Amino acid sequence: AAPPPSGSGEPAPPPPPLQYSLLLQHLVGDKRQPRVWDPAALGGIPCPPKSEEQKMVERVMESCPFKAALACVGGFVLGGAFGIFTAGIDTNVGFDPKDPYRTPTAKEVLKDMGQRGISYAKNFAIVGAMFSCTECVVESYRGKSDWKNSVISGCITGGAIGFRAGLKAGVIGCGGFAAFSAAVDYYLR
């Protein structure tokens, strides 16, 4: 306790210096008061509480079956477009090996383009669904969402696809698909 100031007009003695250790106790020590995290208090955009319907839609959209179905549909569309594109630039579309000098008709060319588009669409849809399912399962198992999930699921998907041709092809498929997944993940993040 500081002594009372004397009435002789002398200035009051200066307050004792602030001790750094006392300040730290209030900032990081036992005396620290936790603050409630409220983004609106910081000038953020106020968000109304989510309704039960919104929470249900979020749960559905974050589920593994929805992600797999979305990847399957996206792969089908992308594969179909890629198949039609490659058939469009291929000079052998509509070509008949029995009669090499005959010019194919537009109907034959379109039929071949459609068949190639459907073939590519099916393959891309299967690969997309496999990759999405394995990534979702790996993410659920690990409890993290980082680049390792896509590399692990890429290795599993590539290995499963390549394993049909043998162990060596499975290992090469695992490495190739994992590297491709890592590159895509690095580019997108």
pLDDT (tens digit per residue) in 116-175: 999 999 999 999 999 999 999 999 898 888 889 999 999 999 999 999 999 999 999 999
Residue 40 has pLDDT above 80, yes or no: no
Return the H-helix or E-strand segment holding 53: helix 52-61
Task: Give the global pTM.
Answer: 0.66
Residue extents of the structural domains in the chain: 62-93+101-144, 146-188
Is 5 within 8 Å of 12 (Cβ atoms)?
yes
Instruction: List Cα–Cα distances, 97 to 15, 104, 113, 117, in angstroms.
Output: 102, 11, 17, 21
Contacts with 45 (C-beta within 8 Å, 6 or more apart), sequence order = 39
Contacts with 151 (C-beta within 8 Å, 6 or more apart), sequence order = 178, 181, 182, 185
Residue 38 has pLDDT above 80, yes or no: no
- Measured CA to CA, the distance from residue 144 to residue 136 in angstroms comes to 11
Residue 54 has pLDDT above 60, yes or no: yes
56 band by pLDDT with thresholds 50, 70 and 90: very high
- Measured CA to CA, the distance from residue 75 to residue 83 in angstroms comes to 12
Specify the higher pLDDT residue, 111 or 28: 111
- 13-17, 55-59, 108-112, 173-177: which range is least confident on average? 13-17
